A and B are shown apart, each in its own frame.
Chain A
Amino acid sequence: EFQLLESGGDSVQPGGSLRLSCAASGFPFKKYAMSWVRQAPGKGLEWVSGIRVSEDETFYADSVRGRFTISRDNFRNTLYLQINALRVEDTAIYFCARDLFFFMDVWGQGTTVTVSS
Chain B
Amino acid sequence: QSVLTQPPSVSAAPGQQVTISCSGSASNIGNNSVSWYQQLPRTAPKLLIYDNDKRPSGIPDRFSGSKSGTSATLGIAGLQTGDEADYFCGTWDSSRSVGIFGGGTKVTVL
What is the predominant secondary structure among interface residues of chain B facing chain A?
A: strand
Q: Does A59 contact B (CB under 8 A)?
A: yes
Q: Given A44-B2, A44-B102, A108-B44, are A103 and B90 neighbors across the interface (CB < 8 Å)?
A: yes
By a CB distance below 8 angstroms, the chain A residues around B56 are: 105
Q: Which of the residues A35, A59, A108 comes within 8 Å of B97, measured between beta carbons?
A: A59
Counting chain A CB atoms within 10 Å of each CB, the highest count among B32, B45, B47, B98 belongs to B98
Contact B104 A103 (CB under 8 A): no
Please measure, in the bound complex, the distance between the C-alpha atom of A60 and the C-alpha atom of B56, giving whole angstroms.
Answer: 27
Q: Does A95 contact B (CB under 8 A)?
A: yes
Q: Which of the residues A44, A107, A108 comes within 8 Å of B101, measured between beta carbons?
A: A44
CB distance from A22 to the nearest CB of B (A): 12
Counting chain B CB atoms within 10 Å of each CB, the highest count among A101, A102, A110 belongs to A102
What is the predominant secondary structure among interface residues of chain A facing chain B?
A: strand
Contact B47 A105 (CB under 8 A): yes
Q: Given A103-B47, A104-B35, A108-B44, are A46 and B101 neighbors across the interface (CB < 8 Å)?
A: yes
Contact A107 B44 (CB under 8 A): yes
CB distance from B85 to the nearest CB of A (A): 13
If A102-B99, A103-B47, A107-B47 are given as contacts, then 5 extra A-B residue pairs at C-beta distance below 8 Å, sorted by A number, are A44-B104, A47-B98, A47-B101, A104-B47, A105-B56
By a CB distance below 8 angstroms, the chain B residues around A45 are: 37, 39, 45, 88, 90, 101, 104
Contact B101 A59 (CB under 8 A): no
Contact A107 B103 (CB under 8 A): no
CB distance from B22 to the nearest CB of A (A): 12
Q: Does B11 contact A (CB under 8 A)?
A: no
Contact B100 A47 (CB under 8 A): yes
Considering only CB atoms, which chain A residue lies closest to B43 in the complex? Answer: A109
Contact A103 B101 (CB under 8 A): no
Q: Does A1 contact B (CB under 8 A)?
A: no
